[in-house]
Amino acid sequence: MNRHLRSLLSGAGLRVLVYAAAILIGLFLTPYLVRTLGDRQYAVFVFAGLFTSWCGLVDFGMTTASARFVTIAYSEGNPRRLNETAVSAAFLFSVMGLVVLAVSGSAALLCRRFAPPDDAPIYAAVFLFSGAAFAVSKLSDALSGVINGVMRQELTGWAALVYRLALGGVTFLIVRQGGRVAAVTAGWLGVALMNFLILAVFARRAYPPLRLSPRLIRKSRIRELLGYSVYAFVQQLGTLLVRRSDLVVIGAFLTLTDVAHYNLAVVTLASYFVTLSEELTIWLTNWFAHLSELGESERSDRSRLFAYKGMTYLTVFMALMLVFWARDFLAFWVGEEYLDAFGALAVIAAGMALYRGSADVNIRFLQGIARHQPLAPLAVGQGIVGIVLAAAAAKSGFGMIGVAAATIIPAIAVNGVWIPLYVCRLTGERPTRYFLRLARHILTAAASFFPAWCLLRAALAPSLPRLALGLAGSTLLWLASIWLFGFRRNERKEILAFFRKKKTSAV
């Protein structure tokens, strides 16, 4: 069983590496594309990315559902059920891809008719190539579901890393050779096809008995997948509403300058925080599903408690770094005029420090044991309440800080209070014990940050390299402090033994 856990953790580490690579590529490519393409072509490039991201809603939560049910079949040792689940999921993903391809084709025809003559061919090509690339990516998702389901997420991690590097490299090379946005999106399609072929090889390697025959499509498996995924889809919609409600309110009640400043200083940096936390915990859904199917409730509890500790330590550190480091970074990166949004960022970061790490673990736990249904209406309700409160704050003259506070309050109520109470009821844990333990983890992480904070303040200077050096040094100091004071001696021994591939029960 440790073999599966080690594979899942390796995959999580690779996903973080992929995310770091995406950030670095984005920081390099964005100014280059703006200079090379010009404002008009770059706007079309951004539009192509938005089209692809909005198409992601067509997923309907199927990515999580397919991996979970493949994990259950794998844990049962039932290859027939696994193949039926994989093929039925592939059929649903294919339908999704065809729907988007049809929509993109229709949009291309409409562009030919209604868009300005000079821009119509560009927009039509962007729609067609982006839609085709998305359709191929859905087939890749079906293969990823199999690989992740048999808990070989290090393979999907390597595939994602190759895909991300290839995507950035192809974009850069095409633009450097004089290609425009249409050529770039065609390159995206080529990279998507390459990724599909890599995943096809990895799927066979991860599970040799895999058979992808249309004769294995089963209505019962389709109903099973859709019955699970519909709640995940509604939760995705709610999450999208939560993450964009503050921008909508600022756009409606404040100024466009406030929108630009808030988006860059708050949404961009906070999204790095949130995405990193999600990437580090996504594997837990498969792990908890695996343990649940095997009836390993005691080990599931140990895993959950250990994940609470590790993720709370990490998210508190990231939040404090945003509070104490982001102001100077913003001044260097985009200019001091954007510092008017720093107060809002500090409010968001401080709020997320209270719940973010444990909340992601709780969500993965509920998804793993298929008790995630209440999360869907909660996410939608949180988004609606956040919009109402943010609008009231903006109209009352509290500005961006008021909007940020109004957004984070319902997030704390849902993720920091209601969901933990729900998990405690399912697991039989006393809520007072849960919250006292969480408070202890938060205080330990904050206290361990003090040496890092001292170094950070000493290293700050009007120089970006000095700022980066202070960030790296602070991170290393914090890791040393949390290792010594955040984990008991026996926990440190078990962690070391686990990564030395010895038999252990660290989690």
Q: What is the pLDDT of residues 225-253, one digit of tens each?
A: 888 887 777 776 677 666 667 777 887 78
pLDDT at 422: 95
What does the alpha-carbon distance between residue 71 and residue 144 come to, in Å, rounded to a whole number? 12
What does the alpha-carbon distance between residue 255 and residue 276 come to, in Å, rounded to a whole number? 30
Pair 344, 387: CB distance under 8 Å: no
Q: Terminus-to-terminus CA distance in the chain, angstroms?
A: 11
Pair 408, 347: CB distance under 8 Å: yes
pLDDT at 286: 84
Pair 311, 358: CB distance under 8 Å: yes
- Give the residue, 26 or 408, on which the prediction is more confident: 408
Work out whether the CA dihedral 28, 469, 464, 344 comes out positive or negative: positive
Pair 272, 23: CB distance under 8 Å: yes
Pair 147, 112: CB distance under 8 Å: no
pLDDT at 456: 63
Highest mean pLDDT among 171-180, 411-420, 453-462 belongs to 411-420
* CB hemisphere CA count around 506 (13 angstroms): 24
Contacts with 265 (C-beta within 8 Å, 6 or more apart), sequence order = 326, 330, 334, 338, 339, 341, 342, 344, 345
pLDDT at 502: 46
Residue 492 neighbours by CB distance under 10 Å: 14
pTM: 0.77
- Going by C-alpha positions, the residue among 265, 296, 246 that lies closest to residue 408 is 246
pLDDT tens digits, one per residue of 93-123: 998 888 888 888 887 787 766 666 666 777 7
What does the alpha-carbon distance between residue 72 and residue 148 come to, in Å, rounded to a whole number? 12
What does the alpha-carbon distance between residue 275 and residue 255 come to, in Å, rounded to a whole number? 28
Pair 136, 186: CB distance under 8 Å: no
> pLDDT-derived band of residue 199, with 50, 70 and 90 as boundaries?
very high
Contacts with 32 (C-beta within 8 Å, 6 or more apart), sequence order = 172, 175
Contacts with 491 (C-beta within 8 Å, 6 or more apart), sequence order = 506
Whether pLDDT at 31 is above 70: no
What letter represents residue 177's amino acid? Q
* CB hemisphere CA count around 94 (13 angstroms): 11
Q: What is the mean pLDDT of the chain?
A: 82
Work out whether the CA dihedral 244, 248, 249, 251 comes out positive or negative: positive
CA 434, chain centre distance (Å): 26
Alpha-carbon dihedral angle through residues 18, 20, 24, 25, given to the nearest 10 degrees: 20
Task: Report, as an integer, the average pLDDT of 41-69.
Answer: 69
What does the alpha-carbon distance between residue 88 and residue 121 come to, in Å, rounded to a whole number? 37
pLDDT at 188: 86
What does the alpha-carbon distance between residue 140 and residue 158 come to, in Å, rounded to a whole number? 14
What does the alpha-carbon distance between residue 201 and residue 357 come to, in Å, rounded to a whole number? 34
Pair 93, 222: CB distance under 8 Å: no
pLDDT at 203: 92
- Going by C-alpha positions, the residue among 293, 298, 433, 434 that lies closest to residue 361 is 434
Angle made by CA atoms 431, 434, 435, in degrees to the nearest 5: 90
- Give the residue, 147 or 236, on which the prediction is more confident: 147
Contacts with 40 (C-beta within 8 Å, 6 or more apart), sequence order = none
Task: Report, as an integer, the average pLDDT of 183-201.
Answer: 90
Buried b (16+ CB within 10 A) or exposed e, 203-238: beebbeebeeeeebebeebbebbbebbbbbbbbbeb
> Furthest-apart CA pair in the chain: how many Å?
70
Query: 47: burial class by Cβ within 10 Å (0-12, 13-18, 19+)?
Result: middle
Task: Report, as an integer, the average pLDDT of 120-135.
Answer: 81
Whether pLDDT at 1 is above 60: no
Whether pLDDT at 460 is above 60: no
- Give the residue, 142 or 269, on which the prediction is more confident: 142
Highest mean pLDDT among 4-8, 123-127, 347-351, 470-474 belongs to 347-351
447: which 2 tokens?
């206290």
pLDDT at 193: 94
> In the 8-state DSSP scheme, what is residue 486?
S
Pair 138, 99: CB distance under 8 Å: no
Whether pLDDT at 473 is above 50: yes
Task: Report, as an integer, the average pLDDT of 331-357.
Answer: 85
> pLDDT-derived band of residue 339, with 50, 70 and 90 as boundaries?
confident
> pLDDT-derived band of residue 405, with 50, 70 and 90 as boundaries?
very high
353: phi then psi, degrees, rounded to nearest 5: -60, -25
Range from 223-227, 336-340, 406-410, 444-448 carrying the lowest mean pLDDT: 336-340
Highest mean pLDDT among 31-45, 256-270, 276-290, 327-341 belongs to 276-290
Pair 180, 174: CB distance under 8 Å: no
> pLDDT-derived band of residue 42, with 50, 70 and 90 as boundaries?
low
* CB hemisphere CA count around 268 (13 angstroms): 18
pLDDT at 268: 74
| Domain coordinates in residue numbering, the chain | 1-217, 232-502
- Going by C-alpha positions, the residue among 115, 160, 155, 138 that lies closest to residue 21 is 160
> pLDDT-derived band of residue 161, with 50, 70 and 90 as boundaries?
confident
Angle between helical axes of 284-294 and 297-333 (0-180°, round to 10):
180
